[in-house]
Structure 1
Amino acid sequence: MSEAGYGDFEFERKFFVRTLPTDLWDEPTPDVIVQSYFLASEGYALRVRLQAPAPAPLARADTATDAATILNELTGQWELCTLTAKGPAAGGTRYEAERELDPIVAEEMVRRGGAKVIKLRHAVWLGEDGWVLDQFLGTNAPLVIAECERESPVTDLTIPAFCTTEISDDDRFANEQLAARPYSAWARHFKSELSTRGPRYLQAFGSNTSGH
């Protein structure tokens, strides 16, 4: 159970990012993540995740790099492997129960099945909040999503300048949805939407302070 007493729940807000803010990195080397979804239906998901520091060539790799290439390059090198069950998201809150897996078992499960998402994860600390920026690879390139996660609801948030628009309530950007319907298939439509309606930020989480 978290210190805030919310147990197996995650609290986060998510934002679409046009340009990766590389000048903000605390650490130059991101982690590489391969996620395999064995279930994704009506907001419920069952995921196996492999995570490790990205080798230098991969950190600079063409965004077309695929999951098979990454799995072959990092065989036996995964530092964190987890199995996670998720429930539907509502109001920036989602049930999430997670446990660590033996790396050998986790890697073989990912190789053998599930719809996959691959990404580089960059971390940065801004003010009182830690942020992660996920740079998606493969068929989800060149998508970049920024997330702020806390142990309690993410309210009164200072939104950094690199956040173009909020997507916390847009199911298309859930990782399990990106595994089934990659960003490349609908990026043009989304950008047209964004151009027409402009940026938006949810108003149900207290005051949004602009970092612009």
Structure 2
Amino acid sequence: MSDTGYGDFEFERRFFVRTPPMELLAEPEPVLIVQSYFLAQDGYALRLRVQADGLQLPLGPDADPLAVLEEARDAFEFCAVTLKGPMNVGTRYEAEREIDVTVGIEMIRRGGHRIVKNRYAVWLGADGWVVDVFGGENAPLVVAECERSGPVTDLQIPAFCVTELTDDARFANDGLARAPYSGWAADFEAELREQGPRFLTDFGHNDLQRRG
């Protein structure tokens, strides 16, 4: 439980990124993440995650999460099991407990719907952001996320954010584990062309940085 007064609730906003900034991808210590969802339904999820700090592997559409798990087995230094509830206007219940890395790796090997990604961190304005570059069946999807200890209001939204995904369950990691992006990317691009970008207005003022 956190000490923010909100307990095990997380506050975040997520955005679709077409081209992440090169300076972000030059981050000296990215994080390699492999996750497996043993339950992912109606917004509820049970997830196991292993991660290796400072390790970046090429993750194209042919990247197999299990192969990556084996290749980086000795580099993983953190594992956690997490329970998640449905997203509700940028707020989601998320309770996490660290577990033994070896046990976590073996459980991920044995089941669940898996995803793999490289995560990059950057400080933009007053907020810390993470940018996830997905591999395997979710390549070439890139998602940027801003998370705070309270509601993410009056956000300065970087120019590389194309449109908001916060309320789109398809782009939640548990959604991507069950229905990978590659299976419906063309439909999403068609939606984006037809409807244009959108940014939610439930979070105060959106300060959209100038787009080139």
Identity %: 59
The answer for the alignment partner of 1:49 in structure 2 is 49
- Asked whether the 8 Å contact 2:59–2:134 carries over to 1, the reply is no
Matches within 5 A, 1:169-180: 169-180=167-178
Report how far residue 20 of structure 1 moved. Answer: 1.6
Task: Measure the CA separation in 2 of the matches of 1:119 and 1:99.
Answer: 21
**Matched residue of 2:87: which SS?**
strand
Task: Measure the CA separation in 1 of the matches of 2:41 and 2:61.
Answer: 28
1:45 counterpart letter in structure 2: A
Scaled by the length of structure 2, what TM-score is found? 0.95
The answer for the alignment partner of 2:37 in structure 1 is 37
Q: 1:60-114: CA deviations, max 9, x gaps?
A: 4534211122111112321110000001110000000000010010000000000
- Asked whether the 8 Å contact 2:35–2:50 carries over to 1, the reply is yes
Matches within 5 A, 1:20-99: 20-24=20-24, 27-53=27-53, 55=55, 58=57, 60-99=58-97
2:172 counterpart letter in structure 1: A
- Asked whether the 8 Å contact 2:24–2:120 carries over to 1, the reply is no
Task: Measure the CA separation in 1 of the matches of 2:190 and 2:197.
Answer: 12
Task: Measure the CA separation in 2 of the matches of 1:114 and 1:63.
Answer: 19
Structure 2 unaligned spans of 5+: none
**Matched residue of 1:89: which SS?**
coil
The answer for the alignment partner of 2:148 in structure 1 is 150
**Matched residue of 2:208: which SS?**
strand
**May I ask how many residue pairs the two structures share in their alignment?**
210
Structure 1 unaligned spans of 5+: none
The answer for the alignment partner of 1:107 in structure 2 is 105
- Asked whether the 8 Å contact 1:26–1:124 carries over to 2, the reply is no
Q: 1:112-164: CA deviations, max 9, x gaps?
A: 00000110001100011000000000000000000000000000000000000
- Asked whether the 8 Å contact 1:34–1:50 carries over to 2, the reply is yes
Report how far residue 24 of structure 1 moved. Answer: 3.5
**Matched residue of 2:69: which SS?**
helix
Task: Measure the CA separation in 2 of the matches of 1:66 and 1:53.
Answer: 19
1:85 counterpart letter in structure 2: L
Report how far residue 5 of structure 1 moved. Answer: 0.7
- Asked whether the 8 Å contact 2:28–2:54 carries over to 1, the reply is no
Task: Measure the CA separation in 1 of the matches of 2:54 and 2:138.
Answer: 18
- Asked whether the 8 Å contact 1:25–1:123 carries over to 2, the reply is no
1:159 counterpart letter in structure 2: I
Scaled by the length of structure 1, what TM-score is found? 0.95
